[in-house]
Structure 1
Amino acid sequence: MNLRGFKNWKLKLRYGRVRTDFHHYTLLADGEVVSPNAEYGTADAGPAFFGMSVWAYNSDQATDMIRTIGQHVGFACTGKIYVYDTEAEEPPGAEPRGYNLKFTRYERD
């Protein structure tokens, strides 16, 4: 199902005119940038938070997704992962997917 071309896709999902097996989550993971990646603004290795929005079947799959995608872009989840049920900014697709990948560096005391 590709809703990107549909106007008012949020309303269609909300009122059941279109159905999806996915749920929308926003995740925040504490960890380390292990391989700098200029495409995502992680020029230096070190501690960071990694945030991402996902369409997934459940929160367990969403958690697996942030770990796997994080590894793919040079991030290791070494701390807690927070999962929030949130309203989507982009429509679901035919497969689980992540979007809005953001990194926020911080300094340890």
Structure 2
Amino acid sequence: MEKDWKLNLRYGKLTTPFKHYTLLAQGLVGELVEGFECRPGTAIIAMKIWALDANQAADVFQSIGGQIGYRVTHDIEVYETDPVKPPEDNPYGYDIQFTPF
């Protein structure tokens, strides 16, 4: 996608049915798949997501979590935020971060 995607999105030259969210939750980190690092145990998990609405964003959050090796154990906090990556044709998550405690 071109480098001016944020401007194109802002001014309507690029359209998407999706909104951008950042989600946070406390969870349990198990054995993570290759490409992710965090010690096993409790952690705050954060992820940026493009989705149709907050409910779909929470579903994507939990689905990706299950695929990479963590499980949400507390309420999910959902915030509408400015995107870092452009939207795609389907909902997706990126920029997954773990803060163990």
After superposition, the CA RMSD in angstroms is 1.2
* CA distance in 1 between partners of 2:29 and 2:53 (Å): 26
TM-score, structure 2 normalization: 0.93
Q: How does 1:1-109 map to 2 (within 5 A)?
A: 4=1, 6-37=2-33, 39-42=35-38, 44-106=39-101
Identity between Structure 1 and Structure 2 (%)? 41
* CA distance in 2 between partners of 1:36 and 1:85 (Å): 27
Unaligned 5+ runs, structure 1: none
* Contact 1:40–1:103 under 8 Å retained in 2: no
Query: Which is greater in Rg?
Result: 1
* CA distance in 2 between partners of 1:78 and 1:28 (Å): 11
* CA distance in 2 between partners of 1:37 and 1:79 (Å): 22
TM-score, structure 1 normalization: 0.87
AA of the residue aligned to 1:49:
I
Unaligned 5+ runs, structure 2: none
Equivalent pairs counted in the alignment come to 101
